[in-house]
Structure 1
Amino acid sequence: VMTHRYDKLHADVRSNAMMTKTCYMEYDPMNSRGVLPRIYARCIGPVIGNTVILQDTNLNQIQVVVERDKLGIYFTHGWSRLRDFYKISAGAWVVLTFVNPFLFHIKLINITGVPITCPLTNTPYKLMLEEGFQTGTWDAPIPFFVMPKVYSHRLEKTLTAADVTSGNL
């Protein structure tokens, strides 16, 4: 039984609904640009702009330029910052998850398969590009998209003796 009705989606979002959202991408610390896998690039290429933000699980953000040519799509300016920020020496895999035309969530795994720990600070890092470096090789319009707001909250409760003995929180 199919519970998702693709044909009932609004025309503005229908093309993105079945799009591949996640891919694994090689990170070579000796290369100043990252190459998106071709199949993934064909899926997301028409909807991403000249720059995107890579955001990790601790909300740290790195902005990179997106460049295109006949052979593929590349992350260029800003891409090499991953090496120092995440202390990648021998190489890694970047798991990219498309969120919207301006934002990808990322997870990093070193070449031995161990997840790379993301820096955690009270205020997440925002490594943005300088003015003048924010231009890519593509100036076509991208679909209208409102950046989602990210909220987080924490519920703290002082436990009573009854809470502890009952085992229910």
Structure 2
Amino acid sequence: GAIILPRMFADDFGDDITRVVSLVDLGNNRFQCLAEKINQNVYLTRGWGAIQDFYDIRFGAWIMLLYKGAGEFGIVLQDRFHRPIQPRQFFPPMQFIIDMCRIPDYFVDNLPESIELLSYAHNRSFFTLAHDKSLTLSDVTEGYLYVPYDNFGEHVFDEDITFIKLVDDCGCAWACDVTYHATNPRHFRVAGQWSRLVAARRLLVDETIKIGSQANGLSNTIYLMFTK
């Protein structure tokens, strides 16, 4: 997902917009979004999809943005019938931090003025090594993701690895601890912010996710795609 901000806002405050902006809802949940400036318009791209998913927006909605300065907005959402959408409550509030790997800290010239093309999507190369995982009860409720060693983990993780970054299909990054277990069957357990990701994305038992890595293997960044 991506949006273009009203041109009036871009004319008045476009120069104040930084490369990364923060949108904060009434529950203090914070969503980072990558900003792009194209032909004097301001777009919010990578990370915007996290708001759509978090609020389960499927058939359109209204969003009010209150610019606070320094690249931060307060947000209030209404459904398409202008009924308030209450934010989900978490303690501590959710923090959706976008993955900035290979993203320059300056605005890029000559980008297309297309919402579809500006919307974040994983590169196919991120799933050169891939595993389709059906979530179990322990994956969803016990705070860790079970990743098999055979035919996937052995090609992706070093046995001594202790930390990875999960990047979801909205472009948000989740810091996770990893431990290798030599018990039969051998596997890796991914903990840390995995439980927060489960809660934020409302993941359910028997839901299938795709876990991917680039071809070089032994990576500290793993990519996720969700079926819903």
Bucket of the pairwise TM-score, normalised by the shorter protein: 0.5 to 0.7
**What is residue 59 of structure 1 aligned with on the other side?**
28
Structure 1 portions without partners, runs of 5+: 1-31, 140-169
- Contact persistence 1:50–1:138 (CA under 8 A): no
Cα deviation code 1:16-51 (max 9, x no counterpart): xxxxxxxxxxxxxxxx21010101111110111011
Matched, 1:49 2:18: yes
2:98 aligned partner, one-letter code: L
Q: 1:82 to 1:91 in 2, by over 3 A?
A: same
- Determine the structure 1 residue equivalent to 2:107: 137
Q: Quote the residue 2:58 is aligned against.
A: 89
User: Residues 136 and 107 of structure 1: is their aligned pair in 2 closer, same or farther, counting only changes over 3 Å?
Assistant: farther
Q: Which has the higher contact order (CA 8 A, sep 6+)?
A: 1
Map of 2:92 onto structure 1: 123
- Identical columns (%): 29
| Structure 2: distance between partners of 1:39 and 1:134 | 27
Deviation at 1:71, TM superposition (A): 5.1
Aligned residues: 108
Could you say what secondary structure the match of 2:42 adopts?
strand
Instruction: State the Cα RMSD in Å.
Output: 1.8
| C-alpha distance after superposition, 1:115-165 (max 9, x if no partner) | 1110111210000111324746269xxxxxxxxxxxxxxxxxxxxxxxxxx
Aligned positions of 1:8-157 closer than 5 A: 32-70=1-39, 72-132=41-101, 133=103, 135=105, 137=107
TM-score by length of 2: 0.45
Residues 38-71 of structure 1, C-alpha deviations (whole Å, 9 max, x = no match) = 0111111011101100000110000001101115
Q: Which runs of at least 4 in structure 1 moved beyond 6 Å after TM superposition?
A: none
